Amino acid sequence: MLRHQVDGLRTKFRVITYDARGSGESDHPRSGYRFDDHVADALAVLDATDTPVASVVAASLGTHVAVLLAVAQPMRVQRLVLVAPPMDVPNTKAASEGKDEAGPLGPSWRTEYERFVPWFVSRVFSEPQSQTTIDEVVAIALEADHAMLLQQAKELDWDDAPGRLQAVQCPTLVVHGTGDQTLELHAVQAVAAAIPNANLRLLDGLGHRPDIRRPDIVNPILVEFLRSGAADLA
C-alpha cells in the first residue's frame, strides 16, 4: 500500500519497511499481538538491518507502536512522524476510530468483514477520484488474516500509547487530513498538544491516509522534516 510513498523517498533516504506480524510474509502466530509485541518486532528490524538510529514514520494503528517505540528507545528514534493517529488522549474530549466497531453507520468488521472492508476503505479515501486506490486497498484488505485481526483486538491496549505521549522526547510531526471521515480533528489536535515537541500539519481536504492517496503532497513534507533531523546530527 505504501509503494508510491516509498518510491518517492528511497532516492533521498535509506527506507526500511516490513510486514507486521500476522500480515503479509511475516509469521502469523495464534497470539502475541500486543502493542509491546509489535514494538519488539520494530526493534528487531532495526537490529537486523544494523540501524542504530532511525526516524520513524507511522500511520493509523501503527502510530501506537511508533509512540511506544520512541518512549522505550529514545536513543534510537531520532524523529517521529504520526499520520492520522487514532488515540484518545486522557482527560480530553477525543473521538477515534481505533476502538473496533464501525458502529450503527456501517457493518461490523468482526462479523461482516467482507462487507466492512469496502465500506470502511471508501471512508478512508474520501478524496475525489479515489476509486482506483480504493479498489487496490480493498483487494489487499480482503487478503488479511481475519482470525489474526480478531485475536489482535483482544490483546491491544489502546490506552497505553495515549497515556505516554508526554514522554516522547524526539521532535515529532503529526499529519492529518481535514477531510478524514474516520477521525475527528480535535482528537488529533489533542495528540499533537500532548507531545512536548510536536508540530501539527493539517492537509486541507485530504482523508485518513494521505500518505497513500497523495504521496506527492505528503512526501515533500516528510523530506523537509526528516532532513532537518539529519542536519541536527551534522
The band of 232, judged by pLDDT with boundaries at 50, 70 and 90, is low
pLDDT at 92: 76
Residue 16, CA distances (Å) to 19, 50, 55, 129, 179 in order: 11, 11, 10, 30, 29
CATH 3.40.50.1820 fits 3-98+159-233, yes or no: yes
- Only one residue has cell 522505550, namely 72
To the question of pTM greater than 0.85 for the whole model, the response is: yes
* Per-residue pLDDT tens over the stretch 44-98: 999 999 999 999 999 999 999 999 999 999 999 999 999 999 999 998 765 444 4
Is the Cβ–Cβ distance between 215 and 4 less than 8 Å?
yes
Tell me the C-alpha distance between 196 and 177, whole Å.
Answer: 22
Confidence at residue 230, expressed as pLDDT on a 0 to 100 scale:
56
Q: Domain locations in the chain? A: 3-98+159-233
Q: How far apart are CA 77 and CA 79, in angstroms?
A: 6
- At residue 214, φ and ψ (nearest 5 deg) are -135, 65
The pLDDT value given to residue 96: 44
SS3 sequence, 53-118? CEEEEEECCHHHHHHHHHHHCCCCEEEEEEECCCCCCCCCCCCCCCCCCCCCCCCCCCCCHHHHHH
Cα dihedral 97→103→108→114 (10° resolution): -80
Q: What percent of the chain has pLDDT over 70?
A: 92
**Residue 218 near residue 210, CB atoms below 8 Å:** yes
Position 35 pLDDT exceeds 80: yes
pLDDT tens-digit readout, 165-206: 999 999 999 999 999 999 999 999 999 999 998 999 999 999
- Please tell me the predicted confidence (pLDDT) of residue 133: 97
Instruction: Write the CB contacts of 75 (distance below 8 Å, at least 6 apart in sequence).
Output: 53
pLDDT at 104: 57
Average pLDDT of the chain is 93
Residue 71: the pLDDT is 98
